Amino acid sequence: MKTLQKQTVLILIATVLFQPVWSQNEKITKIKTEINSAVIYLNGAEIHRVKEVRLEKGRTRVVFTGLSPKYNANNLQVSTTNNVDVLAILHKIDYLTNVEEQPKVLILKDSIELLKDNNVAFNNDRDAYKIEKAMLLENKSIGGTTNGVSMEELTKVANLFRARIMEINKAISKLDKGVEQNNVKINRLNSALNFLNAKTTYPRGEISLLLNAETASSTKIDLKYVVSDAGWIPSYDIKAKDVNLPIDINYRAKVYNNTGIDWKNLKFKLSTGDPTLSATQPKLTPWYLNYNSQLRRSKNRYKAQTYSSDKYQQSNNEFKGEGYLNTTTINGETTLALSKGKNKQQNFVEIAVSELSAEFEIEKMYSIPSDNQPYIMEVIKYNVPALFKHYSVPKLDRDAFLIARIPNWQDLNLIEGNANIYFGGTYVGQSFISTRSVSDTLNISLGRDKKVIVTRTKMEDFSSRKVIGSNKKETHAYQMIVKNNRKGPINIDVFGQVPVSQDSDIEVSTVESTNAIKNDLTGELKWFYTINPNENKTIDLTFTVKYPKSKPVKVKKEMYRSVRFL
């Protein structure tokens, strides 16, 4: 007994015609197959089909029909078993074969026919009533030309005529209204039918294999090909129950399919790789480093289709908001800051991925119809330790912001994408995970923490304005108080600032700053505290500004906001 042998052939060809290659006497077998599994890339998908075929001795042309017309001819892979040789692989697009109607189309057609039948019945009843009405009107004479009728008989006949005519008119009016309502429904169903018919008039792809069998036998044909107009983009739910507890990261994918073929109840894999990679061996190019190189855009990008929030809300109720939390850098640390603004809808976005592609095996089976709409797919769930700290700039905002710091985030195979942030069971806002940071720690803003109270007060008793000779001297004194109302200790960074002189005639001196870390170039002050529960920390800040009285200096810095003019 011959041993089982599996032969894999990778054919890289352009679109050609069938007839010049095939001989005139090979047998032809057309087969229909279901998709066994799929690997979805950020841009594209690899479709896997398997079919057991019985072959006679000699050459047989096996044609896979009903495929997506959006396949990539340069990425066809075929393997066979039982010593069956693959002599050639050709492909074409079939524009002539009628596509089988979808179940929705059949239901719509049946509904339209039923409504039309009802209209026929209504019209038949309407005609019968009109004939009866005409007969009544033609036979309204009841006494002849010579003999009259009594008033009593005339009244009875008149009442009878009036009652019956009214019944007929009401019946006809009701039937007309029924026909009108049915016509409205028929128009709506026809619109839906036209939409679905437009979707089912796609051409279909065919992949034809010329096989050679030494003896009559069965072979299992394994066909893989890549299709375009499909892909996925990441989405995250980041949930923190409380400080000092691990963070839950729900990794999800928004998958879209516009290949013309529905994916029904399949086992999927998600990959960040590139399905269009060349078979030619790679060559290294110079790797240059510059300052801030992590902010430069890399040429190795993937494009993934995205959708506006209203479409997400329409197809999935899990999307909560719009906007990004833009990244900011403070003392070399990259942090995500909340933003309430709406983003403009874009057809495509660029996302950065690691040079080492990641692949996720999806546990559940999903069905993704070919309607170009996003569908949520659960990828993986992480429960990761996090370090929490607070951040406050009392001069700009009296609230304290909670930041979760996730170390070694590179091990989670995250790629750039939107993230819904939850803290303590409350939706905080939407963030954006940027993987372009070179830091080992990913910082995520969890929003305002109302249990940490921050105040900033100007101390009028210690503030003054004096004239000393030809100079003016202003003294500004502030006091900031941070109170921890949480049940556990917190770590908080408090930021302040003093003005920076850009003229030699202007002198700025810091009198009191409660042991702050000062940046002389920017005037930024930083205090770091560990505050126990129900404990207060008081920060005093006093500085003086001396300048010539003939050259007024505006020391106070106003904040401007737009308001409606009444």
Measured between alpha carbons, how far is 60 from 203 in angstroms, rounded to an integer? 25
β-bridge partners, 239: 248, 422
pLDDT top residue among 434 and 382:
382
pLDDT band at 288 (very low <50, low <70, confident <90, very high): confident
Alpha helices (runs of H) in 352-456, residue ranges in sequence order: none
Report residue 528 as tokens. Answer: 């770091």
Residue 73 pLDDT: 86
Asked if the model's pLDDT at residue 501 lies above 70, the reply is yes
Give per-residue pLDDT as tens, 163-199: 888 888 888 889 899 999 999 999 998 888 887 766 5
Residue 98 pLDDT: 58
Mean pLDDT lowest for which of 86-95, 126-135, 299-308, 553-562?
299-308
Measured between alpha carbons, how far is 380 from 175 in angstroms, rounded to an integer? 59
Calculate the average pLDDT of the chain.
78
Measured between alpha carbons, how far is 324 from 346 in angstroms, rounded to an integer? 14
Give per-residue pLDDT as tens, 415-474: 888 889 898 888 888 888 777 665 678 888 888 888 999 999 999 888 888 888 888 888
In the chain, domain spans: 7-99+202-227, 103-138+157-199, 233-265+301-448, 459-548
pLDDT band at 566 (very low <50, low <70, confident <90, very high): low
β-bridge partners, 449: 400
β-bridge partners, 547: 472
pLDDT (average), residues 306-327:
34
In 340-437, beta strands by DSSP E? 348-351, 359-368, 375-384, 387-392, 399-407, 417-423, 426-433
Phi, psi of 309 (to 5 degrees): -60, -35
Residue 7 pLDDT: 44
Asked if the model's pLDDT at residue 319 lies above 70, the reply is no
Give per-residue pLDDT as tens, 237-256: 999 888 888 999 999 999 99
Measured between alpha carbons, how far is 368 from 141 in angstroms, rounded to an integer? 73
Rg of the chain, C-alpha, whole Å: 39
Which uninterrupted H or E stretch holds 51? strand 44-55
The position carrying tokens 């205090």 is 527
Edge-first strand listing for the sheet containing 76-80: 7-11, 76-80, 217-227, 44-55, 35-41, 263-271, 359-368
Mean pLDDT lowest for which of 104-118, 160-174, 313-327, 528-542?
313-327
What is the SS3 assignment for 504? coil
Nearest to 69 by CA among 44, 95, 45, 31: 95
